[in-house]
Amino acid sequence: MKFVTLKSFNKKKLLIPTLIITSLILVITIFVSHAEFTSTDHVTIVDGVINYTPYDFKMMAMYQQKEGCEDTNDDTCYSEVELMPSEGYTINQEKSYCYKTNPEEKIYEKVYTNSNGEHIIKDLEKNTKCILYFDKKQEPLTINNMDFNICNGEDLTEEEAKNCLVNEKGYRFEGPDPNNYVRFNNEEWRIIGIFEVETENGTEQLIKIIRTGSESKEWDESNSNNWERPATLNTYLNDTYLNTIDEKDKIASVKWNIGKSDYKQTAETVYTSETKAITTNKYQVGLMSASDYGYAALNSTCKRSIILWNYDSSTNPGCSDKDWLFNSSYTWTLTPNSSLANRVLLVSNGGSVYNYGASGGYGARPSVYLKSNISLSIGSGSGDPGSSTNPYIVN
C-alpha cells in the first residue's frame, strides 16, 4: 500500500467532498440496514405471488389431494406437502382457512381459486396463519358434445361468472348475464344448468333450458297447486304449446321435481323440499323451479343465507339485479306452496318470491331438458360463445 502525503493547499479542497462522500455512505448504510429488517417477502402461488412482510403471514401446513382419492371431505385423501403443488390444482375453499390467534376461529373466505386458476389469499392481517388444502383441478364438464368450465361460485365476479357453471345442487349458470344463450326452435332460450333427472332411459345428466319470452297463463283455472291433477298450465305446455315446437323430438321426457316449499326459505332449503317429490308421469315441458331462480343470482353479491322472499334488490342489492332469471315481471315457478293448496311460488316484478293463487294469470316461461344424444355447437355470430350475439346452436 502506498501512502501519499497531502500538501496543505489540497486539504481544504478535499475536505468538503470527503464530508459529502462520508455522509452518503452513512445514509446508504442506514437505508440498507433498515431494508434488511423491513423487506417484503413473497409466496409464489402457481400463477402469481403474494407479497407480505415477514410478521404478517405464516403458512402453517399444506395438504395435497392424493391420486385416485376423490372424496374431498375425507382428510385421509390428503397428504402433507413441503411445496405448493404445481398447476392443475385448486384450493379447496371449504377445507382451507386462515386464522389470527385462535385456530378455532377459522376464516374461510380468505382463500380461494378464481376462474383464471389463480390461487388467492386475500385481506391478510398481522399474524395471519393459513392452512391450505389443494384439490386436483376439475376438468371441463363435457355434455351434449360441449365443454363447460366449472368454477367455485363463492367469489366469482360478474365477468368471471359469464363462462362458468357453478356446482350448486347441479351445475348452474349464475350472475346478471352469463353466456348461456341457446338458439332453439328458432327462438332465444337460455341454459339453466345441468342436472340428473329420471328419463325413459333411466337417470341421465341433461341440459335444462328455459325460453326467454313468456306468456300470461293461469297455473290452474281450478285454483289447485297439484301439477299432475293435471294443472291447466301442465296441459297447455305439454299439448298446445308442445305442438308449436318444430324441434320437439330433441326434448327429453322426464320426471319433474314438484315437492312443496315455502317462500321464506333459502334456495338450498327450497331445493331440498322440491326434490322430495317428483311427478309420477314424464313430461317434456315444465317451468323453472323456485330454487332455479334462487341459485341463478350471483353468489358473491347474493349470499345463499338470504331467503327467496328477500331477493328484491331494494332489500338486498345484488340479488334479483344480479340474477339472470329475473325479468322484471311476475313469473310462475313449478314449486307449489307447502301450506296452502291453492298457492304456487312466483317471482314478483320486484324480484322477491311469494306465493300467489294458482288461478292468477301470470308469466309462464317454458322449460325443457335436451336429450343426451343432441349436440350443441358454437354459433358463427360475433361475441363470446354462448353470448346473446353468438348463442349455442342445438344440432
Mean pLDDT (the chain) is 85
The per-residue pLDDT for range 61-88, each reduced to its tens digit, is 889 998 888 777 788 999 999 887 767 8
Quick one: pLDDT at residue 116? Answer: 66
Cell numbers at 109, concatenated: 373466505
Alpha-carbon distance of 14 to 251, in angstroms, equals 95
The per-residue pLDDT for range 233-249, each reduced to its tens digit, is 999 999 999 999 999 99
DSSP 238: I
Instruction: Indicate the range of 57-66, 140-149, 237-246, 299-308 predicted with least confidence.
Output: 57-66
Please indicate whether residue 316 or residue 160 has the higher confidence score (pLDDT): 316
**pLDDT of 305 strictly over 90:** yes
Quick one: pLDDT at residue 40? Answer: 41
Cell numbers at 290, concatenated: 323456485
**pLDDT of 115 strictly over 70:** no
Instruction: Indicate the range of 49-53, 307-311, 317-321 predicted with least confidence.
Output: 49-53
Instruction: Indicate the range of 36-45, 55-64, 92-101, 104-113 predicted with least confidence.
Output: 36-45
Calculate the dihedral angle through the C-alpha atoms of 243, 247, 248, 251, rounding to the nearest 10 degrees: -150
Quick one: pLDDT at residue 250? Answer: 98
The per-residue pLDDT for range 337-380, each reduced to its tens digit, is 999 999 999 999 999 999 999 999 999 999 999 999 999 999 99
The per-residue pLDDT for range 222-281, each reduced to its tens digit, is 999 999 999 999 999 999 999 999 999 999 999 999 999 999 999 999 999 999 999 999
Quick one: pLDDT at residue 72? Answer: 77
Quick one: pLDDT at residue 252? Answer: 98
pLDDT band at 15 (very low <50, low <70, confident <90, very high): very low
**pLDDT of 121 strictly over 90:** no
Closest to 300 (Cα-Cα) out of 160, 122, 134, 135: 160
**pLDDT of 18 strictly over 70:** no
Quick one: pLDDT at residue 143? Answer: 94
Single-letter amino acid, residue 354: Y
Quick one: pLDDT at residue 137? Answer: 77
**pLDDT of 26 strictly over 50:** no
Helix extents (H) in the chain: 8-38, 158-161, 232-235, 267-274, 290-295
Quick one: pLDDT at residue 58? Answer: 77
CB half-sphere exposure, 200, CA atoms < 13 A: 9
Contact 105, 125 (CB under 8 A): no
**pLDDT of 142 strictly over 60:** yes
- The contacts of residue 70 (CB under 8 Å, 6+ apart) are 77
Q: How many helices (H) and strands (E) does the chain have?
A: 5, 25
The domain segmentation of the chain, as residue ranges, is 42-136, 141-377
Alpha-carbon distance of 72 to 299, in angstroms, equals 22
pLDDT band at 29 (very low <50, low <70, confident <90, very high): very low
**pLDDT of 195 strictly over 50:** yes
Please indicate whether residue 16 or residue 75 has the higher confidence score (pLDDT): 75
Single-letter amino acid, residue 159: E
